[in-house]
C-alpha cells in the first residue's frame, strides 16, 4: 500500500512539473507558485484570534477562481465569508474563525481541485498550508500603523500635499496623499493627516468600486491608539475595530444593495473621493443620483442616503501647486441621514478634479471646509490633457 501511495504521489507531482521545450519555458507559461502565506506554513503558536488566511502567488491570478481544499475535514477551518482577491490580484484572502490549540491543514489546489489559476488559465502548483494555533486566544492585537506606501503593491501614480482650511482658519500642517495603481487595475489611496496623528487607506477594484477602508490613529497622551478596518461588499460590510469603544472582529453590518461608502470627517483628507469620483465617471453637463452610506451617529452601523452629482463643466482653477483646467463636480445631498457628521439635505460640496483623476480643490460649504493642492512630487508634471485616469 505504501508503494502505491508513493507512486501515485510521484505521478501527481510529475503532472504539474512536465518538462517543456526551451521555446515554451517562460514566466508567462510556467504555472503560478505560492510565494507567501499568512500564517507562514509550518508556524506554531498562531494567534487563534486571526480572522483571515492569505496566500500570495508569483503572478496575477484569475479573479473569482480558487481552490481552498480540505486535507482532512477535521483540520479545515470554519469560514466566515467568501474568498476574495486583493487589488494586486496575486493575494487571495479567506475569512475564517480559528479555534485555540488546533492543527490546521489546507490544500491550495490539489490533485482534484485546481481552480487557483493565473490570468491565462494555468493552474497553480498545489501547496499544503499547515499551522497550529496557540492554546489560548491572545487579547486583541494592539492597533498598529497602516502600511507605508513602500509596503503597498502597485505603481505610484501620484504623490502630493494638500493645504486645509476649516471655518476660516488655516491648518498649518499639510496632509499628504499617495495613489498607487495595482496590477489588476485597482487603485489604492493612502493619506496622512500628521496634525491628527491619523492615516487612511482606501482600496478600490478595477471598476473603481470601494473594497476597503482602513484608518489608524496614534496614541496621544493617555489615549490609546485605534484602528478601524472596514471590508466592503455589495449588501454587507465587515467591521474590525480596536481601541474605540468595544473591540470588534469581523462584525457584519448591513448595507443596502448597490449603496456606496462615502466617509466624511473633519479634518478630512478626502481619501475615498479619489476613487469615488472616478467611479461616478460623469461627462460634462451630466447629472446623476447615487445611493450612499456613511457611519451612523452611534458609529456602530451604516446609514444610507441619496446624493446628486452634476458635472458643471471645466473651469480654470488656481491653487498653490499651479493653475489648472479642472472638471467642476457639484455634489448635493438630496436626503438627510443621521450620521455623526449629520449630513442633511441640500448640503453642497464642490470638487475640482483633473482629467487624470487628481483632486486639485475641494470646498464643502457647510462649515465651510476647503482643501487645495499645495504641491506634488509624482508625476513630474500634471497636465489637463485627454481623460486618462491613473
Say which residues have a Cβ less than 8 Å from residue 25's Cβ, sequence separation at least 6.
none
pLDDT value for 180? 96
Helix (H) or strand (E) holding 166: strand 155-166
Q: What pLDDT does residue 183 have? A: 86
The closest of 224, 231, 276 to 252, measured between CA atoms, is: 231
Cell of 288: 446623476
Of 312, 305, 354, 303, nearest to 330 by C-alpha is 312
Torsion (CA) 333, 336, 338, 339 in degrees, nearest 10? 0
Note the helical H segments in 145-217.
none
- The pLDDT assigned to 39 comes to 93
What is the Cα 345 distance to its own chain's centre?
Answer: 29
Low pLDDT (below 70) residues in the chain: 1-23, 136-145, 221-223, 340, 342, 384-390
Q: What is the pLDDT of residue 4?
A: 34
pLDDT computed for residue 7 by the predictor:
34
HSE (side-chain half, CA atoms, 13 Å) at 10: 6
Buried-state track 337-363, b at ≥16 Cβ within 10 A, e below 16 = bebebebeeebebbbbbbbbbbbbbbe
Cα within 13 Å of Cα(61), Cβ side = 29
Q: Which domains does the chain have, with CATH numbers?
A: 24-133 (2.60.40.1220), 149-378 (2.40.360)
Omega into 379 within 30° of 0, i.e. cis?
Answer: yes
What is the chain's percent helix, strand, coil content, to nearest 5?
5, 45, 45
Q: Supply the pLDDT for residue 144.
A: 53
Radius of gyration of the chain (CA): 24
To which H or E segment does residue 6 belong?
helix 2-16
pLDDT of residue 2: 34
Q: Kindly report, residue by residue over 85-100, the tens digit of the pLDDT.
A: 988 899 999 999 999 9
What pLDDT does residue 11 have? 42
Amino acid at each position: 500500500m505504501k508503494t502505491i501511495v508513493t507512486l501515485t504521489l510521484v505521478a501527481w507531482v510529475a503532472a504539474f512539473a512536465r518538462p517543456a521545450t526551451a521555446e515554451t519555458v517562460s514566466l508567462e507559461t510556467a504555472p503560478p507558485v505560492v510565494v507567501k502565506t499568512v500564517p507562514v506554513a509550518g508556524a506554531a503558536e498562531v494567534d487563534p484570534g486571526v480572522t483571515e488566511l492569505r496566500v500570495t502567488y508569483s503572478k496575477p491570478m484569475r479573479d473569482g477562481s480558487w481552490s481552498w481544499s480540505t486535507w482532512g475535514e477535521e483540520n479545515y477551518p470554519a469560514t466566515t465569508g467568501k474568498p476574495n482577491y486583493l487589488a494586486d490580484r496575486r493575494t487571495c484572502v479567506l475569512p475564517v474563525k480559528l479555534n485555540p490549540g488546533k492543527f490546521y491543514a489546507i490544500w491550495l489546489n490539489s490533485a482534484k481541485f485546481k481552480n487557483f489559476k493565473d490570468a491565462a488559465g494555468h493552474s497553480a502548483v498545489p501547496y499544503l498550508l499547515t499551522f497550529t494555533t496557540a492554546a489560548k486566544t491572545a487579547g486583541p492585537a494592539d492597533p498598529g500603523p497602516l502600511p507605508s506606501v513602500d509596503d503597498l503593491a502597485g505603481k505610484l501614480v501620484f504623490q502630493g500635499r494638500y493645504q486645509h482650511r476649516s471655518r476660516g482658519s488655516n491648518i498649518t500642517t499639510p496632509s499628504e496623499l499617495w495613489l498607487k495603481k495595482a496590477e489588476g487595475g485597482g487603485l489604492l489611496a493612502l493619506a496622512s493627516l500628521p496634525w491628527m496623528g491619523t492615516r487612511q487607506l482606501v482600496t478600490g477594484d478595477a471598476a473603481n468600486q470601494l473594497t476597503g477602508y482602513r484608518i489608524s490613529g496614534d496614541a496621544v497622551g493617555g489615549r490609546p491608539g485605534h484602528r478601524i478596518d472596514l471590508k466592503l461588499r455589495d449588501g454587507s460590510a465587515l467591521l474590525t475595530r480596536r481601541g474605540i469603544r468595544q473591540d470588534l472582529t469581523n462584525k457584519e453590518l448591513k448595507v443596502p444593495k448597490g449603496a456606496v461608502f462615502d466617509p466624511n470627517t473633519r479634518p478630512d483628507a478626502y481619501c475615498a473621493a479619489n476613487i469615488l469620483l472616478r467611479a461616478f465617471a460623469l461627462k460634462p453637463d451630466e447629472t446623476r443620483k447615487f445611493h450612499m452610506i456613511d457611519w451612523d451617529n452611534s458609529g456602530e452601523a451604516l446609514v444610507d442616503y441619496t446624493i446628486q452629482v452634476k458635472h458643471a463643466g471645466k473651469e480654470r482653477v488656481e491653487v498653490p501647486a499651479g493653475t489648472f483646467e479642472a472638471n467642476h463636480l457639484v455634489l448635493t445631498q438630496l436626503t438627510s441621514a443621521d450620521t455623526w457628521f449629520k449630513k442633511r439635505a441640500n448640503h453642497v460640496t464642490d470638487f475640482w478634479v483633473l482629467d487624470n483623476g487628481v483632486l486639485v480643490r475641494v470646498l464643502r460649504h457647510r462649515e465651510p471646509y476647503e482643501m487645495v493642492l499645495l504641491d506634488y512630487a509624482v508625476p513630474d508634471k500634471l497636465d489637463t490633457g485627454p481623460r486618462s485616469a491613473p
